[in-house]
Amino acid sequence: MPASRPAVLLLLLLPLFLTLSLSPALAAGRATPEPALVAETTQFRETGRYDEVEQRCRDWPRRHPQWVKCETVGRTAEGRTIRALVISKGAGLEPRPRQHHPVVLLIGGTHAGEIDGKDAGLILLRQLLASDKPNNPLQHLTVVFVPVFNVDGHEHRGRHLRPNQNGPLEQGDRVTAQRINLNRDWMLAQTPEMQAMLRLVQRWDPDVTLDLHVTDGIRYRHNVAISHSPLFSPNGEVQTVSDFVLQNVISRLTRRGHAPLDFYPVLNDPEDPSLGMMQEVDTPRFSHVYATVRNRIGFLVEDHAWDDYATRVRTCMATVLASLETVAEHRDTLTRTLIDADLKALRLRGTTLPLDWYNTADIGPTQSNGSLELQGYRYEVYDQAPVSAGRGIRYDVQQPETWKIPLFNHIRPIPQAMQTLPEGGYLVPAGWASVVKPYLRLHGLRHRVISRPLKHIRVESMRVQDDDVVFEPRPFQGRFRTQVNGRWAGDTATLSPGSLFIPMDQPHAWLAAHLLEPSAPDSLSSWGLFNTAYELSDLIAGHRELQLARWMVEQHPTVRTLFGEAIFNQLPQWRQAFEERLQRDATFAADPQARLDFWISKLPPHDPGYNLYPILRTASSPP
């Protein structure tokens, strides 16, 4: 059906409306003539190919040589180039000491189907470059903008890749060419894309990171959700500043007519909003939490999937602008706080802190922490839904309604993840150095290679039991994740040359702990890199176990020959304990293997590395 004349006029004027509706400062700025984006020329029905980014990387530095430069971040798995636009009108285009100016990292297209950030960032930054108003945030900070992080996914487009999203016409893929979700890869960094991004983060060390996404399909009228995870910072001042920046952004957006949320909404029951909403706990595999464990500030920005693409781009522009304005206005407080956080991180050694958190609603029924008013729609919940004949929900998007629903956001530390950090640092035996060292480099962790043997040094080690190790049954991100529960205990160790020492007296000590403590949710251990430590390498034949057990019960002199005087002298008391257990424990008495295990467990381990966590801790710096 042909569009009406008023509708056609509205579509033609939409790019101008996007420009003028953001803030008075931009409305009065000069426009820089340059080719329009595909999104603009199609009235935001479509988004352009990646060559639009490449074109801006060529054109903008020529148009604004003193304000813009283009950097190559790296290459994708399929060989495409990842670009970053570095933009500032007063703070400089090269990394400088933190006290000079803040750096804001904007990331678009992490999930390439959620591409609002690319078009919103290109339009907004074009306008800011054209504006000569004194309150232009580019006067006071440097923006490092990666328009499309997942470039391969961006170019692998189709019309049916985001069924819960209202445009653009063709959308990119959520995952990379290797089918990895980049916003679950910040700690493991198993993709070339993430390895390149971490090098960019090390180079620029952004004060604030905004990762620009789109929600996955819940129906409500809020047009953006902005979340962060300050609880993962060990520094109270960073938590306070992160909260302040977020609330300031929320206030600016609300004054400008938007309906933002300061958390990502997750329904307890997706088929019934009345049962309430809970706050999820993200972990350092996500960009905004990764920024936090680096003593920085990170925000996850989620536009509303059911808004049309033009509306989402406008919302994303407004969110980014409000964030840049807030950072620029409060730059002195922000930079001072982050400098102090790096200094305080040097003194984290010996402190007891939680490495992970949980919502109490995750482990069973719990009382809500109050109620939440959410701008939603009238809905109907079915016990016998049409077609499916099961539970389901239907929203009436013509009938706005305010939901007053219970909120579950009682967040507590996971007890097993409460950890007292080592006084000196971590040690990696030489045999494991090739596994660990690449991650230390990727994450910018200071470490040194031990050049001479260290004999019988005092350390803390962790040996676990079989029941302390749980392997997840299905792969995630191509890895079988592992949960390890154990305690550090005093021990001695001998280390070969080539072993590694990671000191705690460094700005990224907290990141080191998240990488190397097994109870951390995204540690190398949690991602399964140490799984061979929990595999038994050799077995004792049943007949040999029986022979050894008989010799031990009989106090045969062969036991002294094989295992030494100390073990031989303990055989009488072990036999007494064995016989007492037979009398009082019928289950034990009826279990032949348990009876053999009683004796074999007393012997020195035939596989000494089995169930020994491959990282050690030390109270001092080794020589």
pLDDT tens digits, one per residue of 265-288:
899 999 999 999 988 999 999 999
- Condensed to tens digits (0 to 9), the pLDDT of residues 113-171 reads 999 999 999 999 999 999 999 899 999 999 999 999 999 999 999 999 999 999 999 99
How large is the average pLDDT for residues 537-566?
Answer: 90
d(CA 215, CA 193) in angstroms, rounded, equals 23
Q: How confident is the model at residue 97 (pLDDT cuts 50, 70, 90)?
A: confident
How large is the average pLDDT for residues 563-575?
Answer: 93
pLDDT, residue 522, reads 98
Question: Considering only 29-38, 393-402, 480-489, which range has the smallest mean pLDDT?
Answer: 29-38
How large is the average pLDDT for residues 505-525?
Answer: 97
On whether the CB atoms of residues 188 and 522 are closer than 8 A, the answer is: yes
Q: Any bridge partners for residue 460, and if so which?
A: 490, 617
Does the structure show a pLDDT above 60 at 2? no
Does the structure show a pLDDT above 90 at 496? yes
433 compared with 11, residue with greater pLDDT: 433
Q: How confident is the model at residue 366 (pLDDT cuts 50, 70, 90)?
A: confident
Amino acid at residue number 133: K
How large is the average pLDDT for residues 380-400?
Answer: 93
How large is the average pLDDT for residues 511-515?
Answer: 98
On whether the CB atoms of residues 613 and 486 are closer than 8 A, the answer is: yes
Does the structure show a pLDDT above 80 at 223? yes
Task: Look at phi and psi of residue 30 and say left if phi exceeds 0, alpha if psi is from -120 to 50, else beta.
Answer: beta
Contacts of residue 171, Cβ cutoff 8 Å, sequence gap at least 6: 47, 112, 113, 115, 157, 158, 159, 161, 162, 165
On whether the CB atoms of residues 475 and 467 are closer than 8 A, the answer is: no
Q: Where are the domains of the chain?
A: 5-347, 415-537+610-618, 542-600
pLDDT, residue 538, reads 77
How large is the average pLDDT for residues 577-605?
Answer: 91
Packing angle, helices 542-554 and 565-584, rounded to 10: 100
How large is the average pLDDT for residues 566-582?
Answer: 94
Does the structure show a pLDDT above 90 at 8? no
pLDDT, residue 26, reads 44
pLDDT, residue 237, reads 97
pLDDT, residue 13, reads 45
Q: How confident is the model at residue 5 (pLDDT cuts 50, 70, 90)?
A: very low
- Condensed to tens digits (0 to 9), the pLDDT of residues 250-263 reads 999 999 999 999 99
| Mean pLDDT taken over the chain | 92
Does the structure show a pLDDT above 70 at 24? no
On whether the CB atoms of residues 256 and 25 are closer than 8 A, the answer is: no
d(CA 45, CA 68) in angstroms, rounded, equals 29
User: What is the DSSP code string of 3-15?
Assistant: PPHHHHHHHHHHH
Superfamily name with CATH number, domain 5-347: Zn peptidases (3.40.630.10)
d(CA 506, CA 419) in angstroms, rounded, equals 18
pLDDT, residue 98, reads 67
pLDDT, residue 235, reads 95
Provide the b/e sequence for 375-414 (b: ≥16 CB within 10 Å). Answer: ebbebeeeeeeeeeeeebbebeeeeeeebebbbbbebeee
Does the structure show a pLDDT above 90 at 100? no
